[in-house]
A and B are shown apart, each in its own frame.
Chain A
């Protein structure tokens, strides 16, 4: 039952991803991506990580998606002409990277290492309070660094847009 559900979800997710890549319209691509995010969220749920699933929907399908769509609207690129491939080296590099990923996934699948013993049952791992305890003890430094990263993103956006706005305005 669970495995069947997993296969259906995984196929839908991959299908949405493929449709996103193949779609010619930027907005359509973005909408396919939303479907893809939802599929990933369901996969998180299947892994007993409801908190992560909710984060996936809130941050990706909600926030990041709005950012993408705003950028598309700002540039008006959805009415774009057939673009010339500006990055000719992109295709071979992408192919090599994709192949590497397949090899890595295959290696992980066929030569599984010794599983890390956990004291918790799968049900507990995704629970928010356990996540918080891990976050504020073992993973404290990455957590604090995240805030610096977010700060840098914000300052970068302010600097870039304020500059362009000064140019715009009379």
Chain B
């Protein structure tokens, strides 16, 4: 009897499961708290940008506003329209939130690493790709014209921007030589705490950051890319028929996506939890979590800032921007990254005997040459692609009555 007990509920097995569950719960709770903070930052930030105060009544500085709203939505009546497809309508918010949350399994909070897998970057890409299926489910199941249109637009936008987003990460994977998120962050570690080792401070990293950041704004449906829920055109897009707790789940998914975007950007381009003192044994862990959150929330503030300043794009401009501007730039950036690596790291063994004239791999002269070459390529490409798009002149948008 005892042997059987140990076989099924062996101590090691149970301990592992318990630790996994604890870590999972901790991440979910921390994520929800950060999400509440984000909604508060967004409203207060937008409030001050628009010369008003924003929510300031519930708790100090209105900090408890998100809690009040959570109570409100959970006690609110939930409506499933008669014409809706009940199950798909119910499952759509679940799919959308689950695909967002799943990405957090590999995102390190400073030095606290949930799990490190050798395909980490691709894992984030994969689970967030499921998001689009959820949007289409929500749009279709509502059986509402605005919802279906919003869903179709949302998916068209999400897939268009996914290409430049994922391509821009290829450059970083090339620089690092690994798809593990932890390796990506370690690669930006400098023993002297020098922030110039962050990926964003190289010509290829900078262009990659620009493409990734803009594409991510579109993926997260942040203004100015919020066409799927453009309230002046589509009521609330694919969320039109969602109310009560289901809407709250969609709302939560939206902000968690934004947080995931900020966290990944901070990790991939801004060194994650790296900063002065982050390698001290115990205090360093706390510091690294602080740096990570500071960088992520700083990036989120930039998102709010952009929302306050930039008007929404028209749908045709939005699609052209992805395919005709960001995609060519991402491809050029991959080319210049391959040159960067060839000039800095390769020798005769890899077929780059010419580079030996500049000194050993990693020498200052080589880095300088790589800097100049890639910077010139990227800047020229930027202006070339911009010109290519500009010569078309002002395109006039003609709404056709039959096709939308």
Contact = CB atoms under 8 A, between A and B. Distances in A.
Partners in one complex: yes
Interface of A: 27-28, 31, 34, 50-51, 54-55, 57-58, 61-63, 65-66, 69-70, 73, 78, 127-128, 168-169
A51 B126 contact: no
Contact of B125 (A54, A69, A168): A54
Contact of B123 (A54, A63, A65, A69): A54
B107 to A, nearest CB: 16
Contacts of A62: 126, 129-130, 132-133, 162
Contacts of B400: 169
Interface of B: 85, 88, 117-119, 122-123, 125-127, 129-130, 132-133, 136-137, 140, 148, 152, 155, 159, 162, 179, 400, 402-403
B122 A58 contact: yes
A57 B88 contact: no
Contact of B119 (A28, A51, A61): A51
Contacts of A27: 85, 88, 140
Contacts of A63: 129, 159
A65 B119 contact: no
A139 to B, nearest CB: 20
A65 B152 CA distance: 13
* Ranked 7 nearest A-B pairs via Cβ: A62-B129, A57-B126, A54-B122, A58-B126, A54-B126, A50-B119, A58-B129
A7 to B, nearest CB: 17
Contacts of A51: 119, 122
> Majority SS of interface residues in chain A?
helix
Contacts of B85: 27
Contacts of A66: 132-133, 136, 155, 159
B72 to A, nearest CB: 31
A54 B119 contact: yes
Contacts of A54: 119, 122-123, 125-126
Contact of B136 (A28, A57, A69): A69
Contact of B137 (A31, A58, A61, A128): A31
Given A27-B140, A54-B119, A69 B133 contact: yes
A55 B125 CA distance: 10
A128 B119 CA distance: 8
B129 A57 contact: yes
A98 to B, nearest CB: 28
B322 to A, nearest CB: 15
Contacts of A169: 400
A55 B129 CA distance: 11
Nearest to A65: B133
B125 A128 contact: no
B130 A61 contact: yes
A50 B118 contact: yes
Contacts of A57: 126-127, 129-130
Contacts of B148: 73
B152 A73 contact: yes
Contacts of A61: 126, 129-130, 133
Nearest to B137: A31
Nearest to B403: A168
Contacts of B133: 31, 34, 61-62, 65-66, 69
A128 B136 contact: no
A70 B160 CA distance: 14
Contacts of B137: 31
B125 A58 contact: yes
Nearest to B117: A50
Contacts of B122: 51, 54-55, 58
B316 to A, nearest CB: 15
Contacts of A78: 140
B177 to A, nearest CB: 8
B8 to A, nearest CB: 10
Nearest to A28: B88
Contacts of B126: 54-55, 57-58, 61-62
Nearest to B162: A62
Nearest to B121: A54
10 contacts: A54-B122, A54-B123, A55-B126, A57-B126, A58-B122, A62-B129, A65-B133, A66-B159, A69-B155, A168-B402
